[in-house]
Structure 1
Amino acid sequence: MPSEYELERERNIARNKAASTATKSQAKPVQSSRQKRPREEATQPRRQSARLREVVDPNESPSKRKRREAELEEKRAIEAEERMAAEEESRLAKRARHNDLDLVTIAEDEEQADIIALSAAIQSVSQIPNLRDEDAYQSEDEEDDNLVSELREKLQDLKVVSRAKVTQDRIYSAAYHPEKTKDLIFFGDKHGQLGIWDAQASAEEVVDEDGDVAPAADQEGGKYWRLQLHWPATSKSSISCVKIDPMDAHSVYTSSYDCTIRSLSFTSGVSREIFSLEDTLICSMDLAPTGQEIWISDAAGGVWHRDLRQDKSTAVRYGLSDQKIGCISVNAARPNLLLTASNSRSLKIWDTRKLQTLSVDLSDSLPTPPPSSPGGPFLTPISTINTEIDFESVTEFVESKRGKGCLRGEWHHDKSVSSAYWDPSGRRIVSTSYDDHLRLWDIAPAALEKSAQFPSSRPFNRIRHNCQTGKWLTILRAQWSPNRDVYPHFTIGNMNHSLDIFSSKGELITRLADHTKISAVQAVTCSHPSIVERAVSGNGSGRCVLWAPSDDGSF
């Protein structure tokens, strides 16, 4: 008979096993309705000696040997050509694609029926989002506390209502479509893939190997599509930014580490390149409110301006920093005010009206743009005309009497500034930094209207927030809600696996979390442009979450 000690030991072992099982089952990943397809790699003909390929008759005649050697030489030449063709195909497969691409090409892993469904889903949404002339919160309001309380009541009870592995790799960027009748979100991932998620669409049932249907709680929510917009499908093509055209909600812009920016139109079903660099990393981009101009930042400290109504070779580069500019933001109310965040630890506000006077004198001496190359699967990008104003020239201009007012404001952080954005009203700024702080600015409208430098660039609030994401997580960026009908607020991921929402004054509105369904950092976030009770987040494995009222089954 076992002793009391042995019985107690067995009971302890049983309790530990039960506790371990419970811990592992707290946050179950959703079961994907798709399996990742392995990519086909170009295979090259393997060389083999003539001795192994055939047995030579030692008694063959000279004429027969001559014919055999001639046939062997011809065979070797054919194999060499095949090998060279395979090597060239492999080389081209690693280069960025610069030609126009249709939906069938970029949706290579999708079935034809899914491509048709995607096109129908996008074209069914409104083409032009609702535009508002005035911001309800332009001035100080004595009822700010009441407005914050109202916002907290709407947001604090948001729950996980849908989740899915929208992309195959780490989420890098996101954009929420303005359509009010559905939750349509675009996610850019580490390997150049654009995931499009209709988060509350009817999902397909997931059947396991035994033929059993997975429980609803463990299934993926909604319907999603994956488009390989940028190439190659490696970390060299990470989608750093996703933007929806402010005047045409059927068009989506994506910037990538493959040194290109592409525009995808769901009206025509074509993705075309609108900007490219040969060897400089594109970090960020933003569109003017008219949708006719785009501003782009690069890893060498430059900012490019491109008028989308002109040829892409007419872009102009301004050297605004001696280090990488990781984020750029255009003021929606005053498009001439440009915000940059740099590894030089500085946040700067530029007046582009002054800045662009630097390139006016060069415009008359520009060479004629080269003609476009004929079509093909891989084209060499058109070389950008050498319209570049270097960092030293910009610095000299800013310090001169002529350049007074070009640099409207500047603030130095303790470490690199990872992001900085204007809010929808165009008067507030939020920045994130590796010094583990969020900073907030609220610039008076009177100061914005003037052309002189701001009287003070000091932030009015500084919030402690862990931004040490490391190598395997996407950088945390505080993102303003585009909704201008409610009190200004922004979202940011938390290293403790929650989604934090702050007011424009820096008050914590709510901290959304669900440890039974989420076990990873929600690094990338964004909000619905017109429905306040909507937010999404994405993690390092491509899994995305929709936060909404739990009892909200329709719009």
Structure 2
Amino acid sequence: MKYSELEREANIARNREILAQLELDMPIVPPPVKRKEAPNTRAKPVQPSKKAKRETATPIAPTRQSARLRKTVADPNETPAQKRKREHEEEQQRKKQEEELLEAEEKAREAKRPRHQDLDLPVLLQEMDVDELSTLRATFEAISQQDYSRRVAGDEAFVFDDDTKEDAMISELKDKLMRLKVVSRAKVTQDRVYSAAYHPESTKDLIFFGDKHGQLGIWDARAATDEIADEDGDVTGVDDREGGRYWRLQGHWPATSKSSISSIKFDPLNAHKVFTSAYDCTIRDLSFETGTSREIYSTEDVLISSIDLPPNGHEMWISDALGGLTHKDLREEKSRARWYQVSEQKVGSVSVNPTNPHYLVTASNSRALRIWDTRRLQNVAVQSVPSSSDHTGDKSFEYENSIVEKYISSPKGKAAVRAEWRHNKSVSSAYWDPRGRSIVSTSYDDTIRLWEYHDSILQRNSVFPSSRPFAQIRHNCQTGKWLTILRAQWTPNPDTYPHFTIGNMEHSLDIYSCKGDLLARLSDRQRITAVQAVTCSHPSIVERAASGNASGRCILWALPGE
């Protein structure tokens, strides 16, 4: 039953009268209590000082048009000569449009192909202004004035007969590392950090980061910065301000995930040059003296996963996604290289022993960690690098892998693989320490493993007596799709007790000794809210470490006030 508006108002008035007679007041609804918001103790994400975005647009091709629409309206009274002239002009216009279309399409295709030519700083820096370019040139010039030859530790360095001395050294190192704090932050790259390397210059903190889209970020983390005002004219707070100065160089192309920088290495003879490998199937070197980036190696379409160089600086070992190892002599033409199919699946990393450069350690998706004697690999017939499109599981590709497998199972090649250890899941990385004595591996089975080989074993010409790791550390390595794979990285400093850094899924930076002892777990809950997936350390200063995350934001860890 529906009530009219008059009846509804009458009922309201009658109810009020009844309440008044009972001397009852209408219920009073108290005003809502405003809750005090808890103070935000977290610092805002570091605010980038550079607003320029990477230009990835490709040339726009002219729109195709049907022949009917291209025709002009014919004059019904035109003469035969006028008709021929009109048709000739239409044909010329059609040809011109077709040529423009083909030219634009070719430019668009070219923009998506890797660049193989030499690139100078103005091309690499893209949108940077003149001041930024001159500052980078000055930085390169300053570090080119000194020599930075790579130093390695002796294979018997930090080997103690007395455990008391070793414990004291570990305790001293632990005290130093536990005091490291966040001293600088910046969004060094525009996309996810994939790789990092710390330049050996000791008067400044110069750190190189490679990102998902082929960009090399160079961060002078302690450089003086200008105060920057926000939209309201307020100066950005110290905690929110970017620290240092950085430059972004687009060396690998195209600027997409097809060009992720997988590895960064400095020239071991003199760190006036940096090598970068990327998924665009190229390896480039950037000279600080000339400011020129040049291609030193390329494949047709095989992704390069890792590179490493022995201390002599004349050679390079390259791992790839087809399970191959390539040996490149840098003094020869880039087309001259020896390729070996050493695994049925991707080789994710290769590491050269610094004191015995003929030993390599490889980590593969086949779950195997292997130590190779490259002197024995020289007896294997040279193989050609297949393209990734050939990897269809057919017999021809299997035969490429069987060449090395048959050789290492023969009496002549038995000692080519000195040691092998099968992990429970894929091995994401394995590296030699600066002494060439210890190996650390990370795996998707959530375990960090450590090996140690005495010099007497390394000098043998036979298979190592044991391949079992001496220590295993539980560590969450389930990074998923959106984080860079966690890799344990040795500090390259030969003057300190060997230790390595690795990111932690709880947003900390973990540091372990070569014996597996946890030396420090660095974190800052107020200023770090992301996984520090990529890490590196200074080659000569103990109290220096750097890390980067999936947004391109990077951290410098050091002693405050230094």
Structure 2 length-normalised TM:
0.88
Say which SS state the counterpart of residue 14 (structure 1) adopts. Answer: coil
Query: Using a 3 Å threshold, how does the CA distance of structure 1 residues 516 and 427 change in structure 2: closer, same or farther?
Result: same
Alignment of 1:241-280 (within 5 A): 241-280=263-302
Pick the aligned partner of 2:97 from 57, 73, 79. 79
Query: Using a 3 Å threshold, how does the CA distance of structure 1 residues 205 and 76 change in structure 2: closer, same or farther?
Result: farther
Structure 2 partner of 1:37: 53
Shift of 1:470: 0.3
Shift of 1:155: 0.8
Shift of 1:129: 3.4
In the alignment, structure 1 residue 320 sits paired with structure 2 residue 342: yes
Shift of 1:279: 1.6
Shift of 1:541: 0.6
Query: Using a 3 Å threshold, how does the CA distance of structure 1 residues 485 and 38 change in structure 2: closer, same or farther?
Result: closer
CA distance in 1: counterparts of 2:54 and 2:359, whole angstroms? 46
Greater CA deviation, 29-38 or 540-549? 29-38
CA distance in 1: counterparts of 2:360 and 2:194, whole angstroms? 23
Q: Deviations over 1:48-99 (max 9, x none)?
A: 5688789737554234444333323222221211111110000011111111
Structure 2 partner of 1:284: 306
Pick the aligned partner of 1:551 from 552, 557, 561. 561
Structure 2 partner of 1:14: 35
Query: Using a 3 Å threshold, how does the CA distance of structure 1 residues 3 and 145 change in structure 2: closer, same or farther?
Result: farther
In the alignment, structure 1 residue 400 sits paired with structure 2 residue 421: no
Structure 1 partner of 2:516: 506
C-alpha RMSD of the superposition: 2.3
* Residue ranges of structure 2 left out of the alignment (5+ in a row): 1-24, 385-397
Structure 2 partner of 1:382: none
Pick the aligned partner of 2:547 from 532, 537, 542. 537
CA distance in 2: counterparts of 1:457 and 1:502, whole angstroms? 21
Say which SS state the counterpart of residue 537 (structure 1) adopts. Answer: strand
Residues 538 and 545 in structure 2, CA contact (< 8 A), matched pair in contact too: yes
Shift of 1:480: 0.3
CA distance in 1: counterparts of 2:495 and 2:527, whole angstroms? 31
Residues 265 and 276 in structure 2, CA contact (< 8 A), matched pair in contact too: yes
Letter in 1 for 2:139: A
Query: Using a 3 Å threshold, how does the CA distance of structure 1 residues 130 and 189 change in structure 2: closer, same or farther?
Result: closer
CA distance in 1: counterparts of 2:345 and 2:152, whole angstroms? 37
Structure 2 partner of 1:231: 253
Residues 343 and 417 in structure 1, CA contact (< 8 A), matched pair in contact too: yes
Structure 1 partner of 2:393: none
Say which SS state the counterpart of residue 285 (structure 1) adopts. Answer: strand
Alignment of 1:106-117 (within 5 A): 106-117=124-135
How many positions carry a matched residue from both structures? 519
Shift of 1:485: 1.1
Say which SS state the counterpart of residue 105 (structure 1) adopts. Answer: helix
Greater CA deviation, 516-525 or 139-148? 139-148
Q: Deviations over 1:119-158 (max 9, x none)?
A: 2212212232363563631455521111111011111011
Structure 1 partner of 2:123: 105
Residues 151 and 494 in structure 2, CA contact (< 8 A), matched pair in contact too: no
Shift of 1:422: 0.3
CA distance in 1: counterparts of 2:444 and 2:74, whole angstroms? 75
Letter in 2 for 1:124: A
Residues 153 and 494 in structure 2, CA contact (< 8 A), matched pair in contact too: no
Query: Using a 3 Å threshold, how does the CA distance of structure 1 residues 226 and 283 change in structure 2: closer, same or farther?
Result: same
Say which SS state the counterpart of residue 216 (structure 1) adopts. Answer: coil
Structure of higher CA gyration radius: 2
Q: Deviations over 1:345-390 (max 9, x none)?
A: 110001111111224xx69xx9xxxxxxxxxxxxxxxxxxxxx993
Residues 427 and 442 in structure 1, CA contact (< 8 A), matched pair in contact too: yes
Greater CA deviation, 220-229 or 309-318? 309-318
Structure 1 length-normalised TM:
0.89
Structure 2 partner of 1:335: 357
Q: Deviations over 1:168-213 (max 9, x none)?
A: 1000000000111110011000000000000000123222223332
Say which SS state the counterpart of residue 46 (structure 2) adopts. Answer: coil
Query: Using a 3 Å threshold, how does the CA distance of structure 1 residues 517 and 72 change in structure 2: closer, same or farther?
Result: same
Pick the aligned partner of 2:242 from 208, 212, 220. 220
Identity percentage over the alignment? Answer: 57
Say which SS state the counterpart of residue 415 (structure 1) adopts. Answer: coil
Greater CA deviation, 472-481 or 392-401? 392-401
Structure 2 partner of 1:492: 502
CA distance in 2: counterparts of 1:141 and 1:68, whole angstroms? 99
